Structure 1
Amino acid sequence: MTGEVARRALPTRTVESRLIVVARAQRAEDYDAVLDVLVDAGIRSVELTLTTPGTFAHFPRLRERFGDAVDLGIGTVTGTDDLARAIDAGAAYIVTPITSAAFVQQATDAGVPIVPGGLTPTELFASWSAGASAVKVFPAGQVGPGYLKDLRGPFPGIVAVPSGGVDLAGAEAWLAAGAVAVSVGGPLLGDAFSGGDLGALHDRAQAFVEVCTP
């Protein structure tokens, strides 16, 4: 069944880096300084979340400034209108925390990779069989890397990105279990969006890059 559906591949840089940084800030203007550090540390894929006010308005500036160095996705998409806006904005990929075949169809028809979230085998397979580029195992911290090995039994071809509570050791373990990439937020970003030490952020980002780079 999975071989019969249209499926948009994740961006090459994202797949090669095996690491997506989830940026959730208090305001969109705070993205710039943090992205400067992340890009310098070797990060090549960043998911900008719609829970950050002003993300859509600020996105064109971020694409112009960072688009040649990093895949900029848009995440926390929970409605069809926001999905359409993310497509129109030129998101490199779209991430949603929910399971929706309609979302997958909408993004795929527009030629944009999409990663829908889910936790149960039924949810994850529903998205995968609908044509998702990958499925987001969320919240990954509630199950652990062994869960992906179990899923690979009935669904050997499924492409998964764990998200939620993935720290440095977890990133290594999930990738060893067969994840195409890991989605990381707090354990990497720490207090960077609330005045934290950007030098320390650089060190944390480099550590994740070293673990995730094949």
Structure 2
Amino acid sequence: MKIDNGTIVAIIRGVEPKEIVEIQSALLEGGINWVEVSLSEEEKGLKCIQILHQTFGDSIHLGVGTVTTLDQAKKALEAGATYIITPGWDKELTEEILDLNVDVLPGVFSPGEIMQAAALNIETVKLFPANNLGTNYLNNIKGPFPRMNFMGVGGISLENIQNYHESGCTSFGIGSELVPRGATKADKERIRENAKKYISILTTKG
């Protein structure tokens, strides 16, 4: 799965299903149509995915994150998710998800994990936690893996996203800096404006 350069994926975590349509509407108004619903609270997350799929259809790129088992992946796909993101590297799980003919962005941290992902012909990996690794790591790792695309996740903010983009991250997963954990419709204006700011930075500098 290759994601266009400069793409922002909004990570939604802990949002009540009754609030999810308002949250996604605010993201769309701000220019973001990629979303990852975390399964850190599985039942709530699956319901949010179902509602998003039924409400927005193909107008959004709907994914699921924090997937640690094949059963979770299957449930999320049934609910309407179109791609899977894992928190860390699990070769067996990654292969099982690929066998479902669905795109997966596995979490990676080390050169060894990136090598294993590349061996499975994965085009984009989730570099997590990006803020712990830093931009120097990213600059160095691009050398041996020039064809791998990196989604920076973890600690990416309005203040540092430009640096990570210039250092080699082509896309970003943004969590609470964009959509507060457990956000409600009261956060709509904040989410909309945050989305516009992130898009503006990458559009201007990208």
Instruction: State the TM-score, normalizing by the size of structure 2.
Output: 0.88
1:94 match: 84
2:34 match: 45
1:31 match: 20
For 1:189, which of 167, 179, 191 is the aligned residue?
Answer: 179
Is structure 2 residue 7 aligned with structure 1 residue 18? yes
Tell me the percent identity.
Answer: 26
1:108 match: 98
Q: Deviations over 1:30-85 (max 9, x none)?
A: 32211110111110100001113322234232112122321010000001211222
2:11 and 2:187 mapped to 1: Cα distance? 18
Q: How does 1:196-207 map to 2 (within 5 A)?
A: 196-207=186-197
Query: Which ranges of structure 1 fall in alignment gaps of 5 or more residues?
Result: 1-8
2:17 and 2:132 mapped to 1: Cα distance? 29
SS across alignment from 1:211: helix
1:16 to partner: Cα distance:
5.4
**Number of residues paired by the alignment?**
203
Query: Which ranges of structure 2 fall in alignment gaps of 5 or more residues?
Result: none
Q: Which amino acid aligns with 1:175?
A: H
Greater CA drift, 159-168 or 125-134: 125-134
1:156 to partner: Cα distance:
1.7
Q: Which amino acid aligns with 1:25?
A: G
2:104 and 2:115 mapped to 1: Cα distance? 14
Q: Deviations over 1:123-169 (max 9, x none)?
A: 22222322334111111111222211110122221111110110013
Greater CA drift, 81-90 or 130-139: 81-90
1:170 and 1:66 mapped to 2: Cα distance? 31
SS across alignment from 2:4: helix
Is structure 2 residue 89 aligned with structure 1 residue 130? no
Q: Which amino acid aligns with 1:20?
A: V
Compare relative contact order (CA 8 Å, sep 6+) and give the higher one, 1 or 2.
2
Work out whether residues 10 and 35 of structure 2, in 8 Å CA contact, stay in contact via their aligned partners in 1: yes
SS across alignment from 1:72: strand
Work out whether residues 124 and 137 of structure 1, in 8 Å CA contact, stay in contact via their aligned partners in 2: no
